[in-house]
Structures are given as structure tokens and as C-alpha cells.
Amino acid sequence: MASTVLIVEDQEDFRLTLAEILRLDGWRAFVAGSVDEALAVAQRGGIDVVLCDVILPSKRGPELQRAFAVDPALVDIPFVFMTGHAPHAEQLAPTPVLLKPFVIDRLVETLASVLDGRETH
């Protein structure tokens, strides 16, 4: 069965492009443009991993990660952050961070690695 990724990105074109590329690679992809929308999608269930931009309107990606951490239904879902600002990457450890622009092979490799790590714990 295909793994499911929730893509949280406020730039619609980028969000939809990522979803289409991942679908072509065999992933199931859901999309959200904000933290609140992402929480609503995630609470419906079926999400294996979250790919989340750091800078979002009104709330930031780490706030979404904290919301997952306190929800028993979402606490075990791993995150991968994306950012165009290198200083953010250091502040987000140990969560994996992809620096924009990134190549799709690196994206897929990172998502798969995060899921493999979760399954071994």
C-alpha cells in the first residue's frame, strides 16, 4: 500500500506541483495551505508523514508539529520541514529539513527515510 503524505505549503502552485510529483512516484498526497487546514485534514486520519513549510500564514510549521505532538491520534506522525531560509534548519533539529530549492530525488529519499525510521522504533 502506498504511503500517504500531507503537504502543508501556502504557495498553491508549489503545493500542487509537489503533490503531483509525489503521486507520480507512487505516494498518496493530501494538501493544505495553512496550519488549521492541515489539522483538519490530518484529523480525518490516514496520514503517514507530513511535509511542511516552516513559514506559513498566521502560524508556523513548528506550531503544527506541536499540535500533532499533543494529539494522541497524530503524535506518532513524523515531520519533514521545508524552508528557503538556512538558519531555520539548525533551529528545527532533530526534525529533518529540506532547504529550498531541493531536488525531487532528495525529497522522496528523505520522506522514505523518515518513514523507515519510524517503523523501526
Give residue 10's pLDDT band: very low, low, confident or very high (50, 70, 90): very high
With a cut of 80, say whether residue 120 has pLDDT above it. no
At 57-112, the pLDDT tens digits run 889 999 999 999 999 999 999 999 999 887 767 788 899 999 999 999 999 999 99
Note the pTM of the prediction, 2 decimals: 0.93
Tell me the C-alpha distance between 55 and 82, whole Å.
9
The grid coordinates listed for 79 are 515531520
With a cut of 60, say whether residue 11 has pLDDT above it. yes
Q: What is the DSSP string of the chain?
A: ---EEEEE-S-HHHHHHHHHHHHHTT-EEEEESSHHHHHHHHTTS---EEEEESS-SSS-HHHHHHHHHT-TTTTT--EEEEES-HHHHHHTTTS-EEESS--HHHHHHHHHHHHHHHHT-
Q: Which CATH superfamily is domain 4-119 in?
A: Response regulator (3.40.50.2300)
Contact between 61 and 97 (Cβ < 8 Å): no
pLDDT at 86: 78
Which one has a higher pLDDT value, 27 or 91? Answer: 27
